[in-house]
Amino acid sequence: MEALNLDYKNVPSKGTIAGAGVRKIEAVDVTKVYSTKKSQFVALNRVSFHVDAHEFVSFVGPSGCGKSSLLRIIAGLEPLTMGDLSINGHEIEGPGADRGMVFQSYTLFPWLSVRENIEFGLTLKGVPLFEKRAIADHFMELVGLHKFAKSLPKELSGGMKQRVAIARALANNPDVLLMDEPFGALDPQTKNAMQELLLRIWEKEKTTVVFITHDIEEAIFLSQRVYVMQAHPGTIRSEIAIPRGMRQVEDVKDSEAFVKLKKQIISLIGHHDE
């Protein structure tokens, strides 16, 4: 029988603590100008940041500050106008299998089952059936959907669909998981449950995550570092480190440290709006 090759989780650049501290994404003076026939609009102005291996980094800011533009540029779906942006030291020139995406809108293939959706990228890569099945099983288990392997997306709730989307992205073993308001369309209870689940997954898989949200609580709860953005034009106003161990506190979102950080970020964002 063919031996199972699950070493995909142990590639040196991720999945091992040894890779921690290694620069994964580096952005220097990234500028994005959208041009139409009549005008030019500066969506991002000289945005510089970095994301290290295994980090969970969020970008938070008001509507229109360029969060989605930034994520699309990292994903290689949108070209930057000026500046430098690299992943693993290589300039980003287009989309790549090293980056997995999860969007706010549900992007599952409606005609494919949960298992087939999760296996889709692996099928394209020609991963052998046995291995593909094992990887899908692992990630269905991880997001708690193994009982729904044969279900179609239309039979799933919004939260379940996003769990499939996360499993699908992770099954391709991306170097970086890019998430654009993935829980933005969910009700508050489901959103909280998804945040808890994502943290558990991140702690287990050691994935590097770049997370976009306008929800300040969500950013503080999930991240190790938060970049606070402002609009007109989109720039990074501040970088906030979230203290280690804060999440271990019960009802962390009501804790003094959490509320203090939230007020700090609100004032940073609010300051610009005045």
Ligand X SMILES: Nc1ncnc2c1ncn2[C@@H]1O[C@H](COP(=O)(O)OP(=O)(O)OP(=O)(O)O)[C@@H](O)[C@H]1O
**Cβ neighbours around 155 below 10 Å, total:** 12
CB distance 230 to 239 below 8 Å:
no
Question: Taking CB under 6 A as the rule, does residue 228 contact ligand X?
Answer: no
Question: Taking CB under 6 A as the rule, does residue 178 contact ligand X?
Answer: no
Question: Taking CB under 6 A as the rule, does residue 41 contact ligand X?
Answer: yes
Question: Taking CB under 6 A as the rule, does residue 34 contact ligand X?
Answer: yes
CB of 42 to ligand X, least distance (A): 9
Sign of CA dihedral 173, 198, 225, 250: negative
Question: Taking CB under 6 A as the rule, does residue 115 contact ligand X?
Answer: no
Which of 30, 43, 102, 219 touches ligand X (CB under 6 A)? 43
Question: Taking CB under 6 A as the rule, does residue 68 contact ligand X?
Answer: yes
Question: Taking CB under 6 A as the rule, does residue 15 contact ligand X?
Answer: no
Which of 214, 237, 253, 262 touches ligand X (CB under 6 A)? 214
x-or-dash string of contact with ligand X, 46-65, rule CB under 6 A: ---------------x-xxx
Question: Taking CB under 6 A as the rule, does residue 184 contact ligand X?
Answer: no
CB distance 29 to 217 below 8 Å:
no
Nearer to ligand X (CB atom), residue 67 or residue 168: 67
CB of 197 to ligand X, least distance (A): 23
Instruction: Look up residue 223 and give its two tokens.
Output: 């991240």
CB of 247 to ligand X, least distance (A): 25
CB distance 55 to 225 below 8 Å:
yes
Nearer to ligand X (CB atom), residue 57 or residue 118: 57
Which of 53, 57, 60, 69 touches ligand X (CB under 6 A)? 69
Phi, psi of 48 (to 5 degrees): -125, 135
Question: Taking CB under 6 A as the rule, does residue 189 contact ligand X?
Answer: no
Output the CA angle 105-72-118, nearest 5 degrees.
Answer: 50
DSSP letter string over 116-155? HHHHHHHHHHT--HHHHHHHHHHHHHHTT-GGGTT--GGG
Say how far apart CA 198 and CA 196 lie, in whole Å: 6
Q: Which residues bind ligand X (CB under 6 A)?
A: 34, 41, 43, 61, 63-69, 214, 234
